[in-house]
Structure 1
């Protein structure tokens, strides 16, 4: 979504909104797939001009996927959460066990001195209290200022299941951190990143954007060969590889560009819309 569907100012362009609206009007499922948590989705869905959100807007269409017919489904937190923006409800969440959070945080702090941690905890919907969802250490807030987060002690941070763990370092790139983390974490957690600015995103084992999208596709009865996916960063690579046709925007990370079946224009030039307009 960021760096791909959204422009460099994190907005939906009018051209992109029109293209997505045509997809939904045709009856084709449209699913947002992002590293962001559900609380970011209502604004994006509204900018796309697709659906109202909240319980009053919910119209069941089967299998609890209320938003499927109106573009209201989102795979969030890099595949860990499936969210229905029409009913404002989290349908599924694949979380990291607290004991594993504790162990990995301890080991990463030793392997990457100077790093700090935050977690995104699962929510029932986008309108749950933010200070119960986004928790961080004091050192994390000192670098990554965000009005949403609440500072807590490390023991509290890792004391409950989390949809995603964030690891931050001021002086390393995300790629450098990922190399160090892979040696420590191994297969116990999924390690990826969506920015090069020293921030890792860790999910439960086997959880990534591909697995999240695959679960939604199975619910909707859509074969992977019929899926068109777009992305730009390493957290998109598994999805771009899994989908029937993976498209990377021109501003994408080199690894995403390499794995994609096609390259389109950058997110500042409506690259996603340019591809969608071939069929819708």
Structure 2
């Protein structure tokens, strides 16, 4: 299995999948290797990418909260964040880190309160404002992530500031978004969900090659038998992962796959 993050990893900076990378993925699939997308993105983003690039197969979305069948456009399994937990954690974080805004990701929509002023072009049509923070907790939709945004703190600083207030009730991480913290149900990680997926398929961790660039990818990169950090990766990822490849702009994932299927790449421990 090849497990790859999307933004900053498989995709170029303009959000596209290069022809070279697409050819490399097809080569791996033709050789019997399963390609699994492992991303912080929701299914709706994967749908748009699938339409543009013809991707099929399985995606682990929302940092592990959802397993998604790309071709069928169906959520196969989910691990949601209880709304009561999201509210308790948001209350604690608002006290610990003033002037932050909150939003709820449901997989289909982003519900946001007035202080959450982050707008993403790819979410146009999926964003739903609510009048007050209190109204955010009235949703009946299943919540995959609580999003916390600050216009004055970078993601690393925000994560460090939020961790004491969140306690062990949730899983905190970030994927590099400016001042954006992503919070899932406790124990929900990309690696945890990928491990369950592999177990169902009879695939051992040693048979998995993973690619990523941000802190939310670290669980996968360190769990997989071979993990590659992109050259453009977050400093913490570059420091923690021994094997590196070229940047996403230089088709680093394709570079490894091409050499792998030419018999030129050995496991990371031997590189």
Q: Which residue of 1 aligns with 2:264?
A: none
Q: Output the CA distance in 2 between the equivalents of 1:171 and 1:87.
A: 41
Q: Is the 8 A contact 2:49 2:55 kept in 1?
A: no
Q: Which residue of 1 aligns with 2:102?
A: 117
Q: Which residue of 2 aligns with 1:28?
A: 33
Q: Is the 8 A contact 1:119 1:165 kept in 2?
A: yes
Q: Output the CA distance in 2 between the equivalents of 1:224 and 1:155.
A: 43
**Structure 2 SS opposite 1:240:** helix
Q: Which residue of 1 aligns with 2:148?
A: 167
Q: Are residues 1:243 and 2:218 paired?
A: no
2:197 to 216, 220, 225: 216
Q: Is the 8 A contact 1:174 1:195 kept in 2?
A: yes
1:84 to 48, 63, 69: 69
**Structure 1 SS opposite 2:175:** coil
Q: Which residue of 2 aligns with 1:158?
A: 137
Q: Output the CA distance in 1 between the equivalents of 2:79 and 2:233.
A: 27
Q: Output the CA distance in 2 between the equivalents of 1:179 and 1:73.
A: 32
* Residue deviations 1:255-277 (CA, integer Å, cap 9, x gap): 11122231000000000100011
Q: Which runs of 5 or more structure 1 residues have no equivalent in the other structure?
A: 52-71, 123-129
Q: Output the CA distance in 2 between the equivalents of 1:158 and 1:218.
A: 35
Could you say what the CA RMSD is over the residues aligned between the two structures, in angstroms? 1.4
1:137 to 108, 113, 117: 113
Q: 1:24 to 1:268 in 2, by over 3 A?
A: same
| Higher relative contact order, chain-length normalized (CA < 8 Å, sep 6+) | 2
1:104 to 82, 85, 89: 89
Q: Is the 8 A contact 1:78 1:207 kept in 2?
A: yes
**Structure 2 SS opposite 1:267:** coil
Q: Output the CA distance in 2 between the equivalents of 1:149 and 1:196.
A: 17
Pairwise CA distance, 1:139: 2.2
Q: Output the CA distance in 1 between the equivalents of 2:58 and 2:135.
A: 31
Q: Which residue of 2 aligns with 1:63?
A: none
* Residue deviations 1:78-137 (CA, integer Å, cap 9, x gap): 011000011110011101111111111111111110000111115xxxxxxx4xx21111
Q: Output the CA distance in 1 between the equivalents of 2:188 and 2:118.
A: 27
Q: Which residue of 1 aligns with 2:166?
A: 185
TM-score normalized by the length of structure 2: 0.88
Q: Which residue of 2 aligns with 1:38?
A: 43
**Structure 2 SS opposite 1:277:** helix
TM-score normalized by the length of structure 1: 0.86
Q: Are residues 1:207 and 2:212 paired?
A: no
Q: Output the CA distance in 1 between the equivalents of 2:228 and 2:76.
A: 27
Q: Output the CA distance in 2 between the equivalents of 1:255 and 1:158.
A: 34
Q: Is the 8 A contact 2:230 2:252 kept in 1?
A: yes
Q: Is the 8 A contact 1:21 1:49 kept in 2?
A: no
Pairwise CA distance, 1:196: 5.0
* Residue deviations 1:172-199 (CA, integer Å, cap 9, x gap): 0111110111111121111100115100
Q: Runs in 1 of length 4+ with deviation above 6 angstroms? A: none
Q: Is the 8 A contact 1:20 1:48 kept in 2?
A: no
